[in-house]
Amino acid sequence: MSLKQISVFLVNKPGTLKKMTSILAQNHVDLRAISLAETKEYGIARIIVDDTFNAVNILKEADFVTSINSVLAVEVSDEPGSLDKMLQTFADEDVNIDYMYSFIIGKEAKSAGMIFRISDVAIAEPKLAAKGLKILTQEDIAQI
């Protein structure tokens, strides 16, 4: 049930991120979540989209360097302490988080999705689901 995240390597210069988003928009690829990390010379856009494989093909045709990774998406309610409670479950289950970012679920914004990059999704996912965390699928993301 893990999600596929696309990492797009971007030269760190004005307009590069805009070029990526324009190509996706022109091809009707819907961004669900995005995170941008940078160094002096390059950046990495980590994106969750409605159609991963189509987006990768479009980006590669436009000469972007991409990779696909498995990540875990977990729904969290929009109330104080929800993220802390979720992270306690990760700690209790000895699941280390490499990085995370979030996105809003739906127009009512009663919950958010948290994207987690962890070392072994296949091991962590059933442990976290067994503790009651709502794990989101690629199909869930496509419908948001």
Name the CA dihedral angle for 13, 18, 20, 23, rounded to a multiple of 10 degrees: -140
The alpha-carbon radius of gyration of the chain (Å, integer) is: 16
Answer whether 116's CB lies under 8 Å from 48's CB.
no
Alpha-carbon gap, residue 93 to 68, rounded angstroms? 26
Of 72, 23, 22, 29, the closest CA to residue 52 belongs to: 29
Instruction: Judge: domain 3-69, CATH 3.30.2130.10.
Output: yes
Q: Which two tokens stand for residue 139?
A: 């199909």
Give the predicted TM-score (pTM) of the model: 0.89
Domain boundaries, the chain: 3-69, 71-143
List CB contacts of 125: < 8 A, sequence separation 6 or more: 1, 2, 72, 135
Fold of the CATH domain 71-143: Alpha-Beta Plaits (3.30.70)
Q: Is the pLDDT of residue 108 over 80?
A: no
pLDDT above 70 covers a percentage of the chain that reads: 97
pLDDT tens track for 40-91: 889 999 999 989 999 999 999 999 999 999 999 999 988 899 999 999 999 9
pLDDT bucket at 23, cuts 50 / 70 / 90 = very high
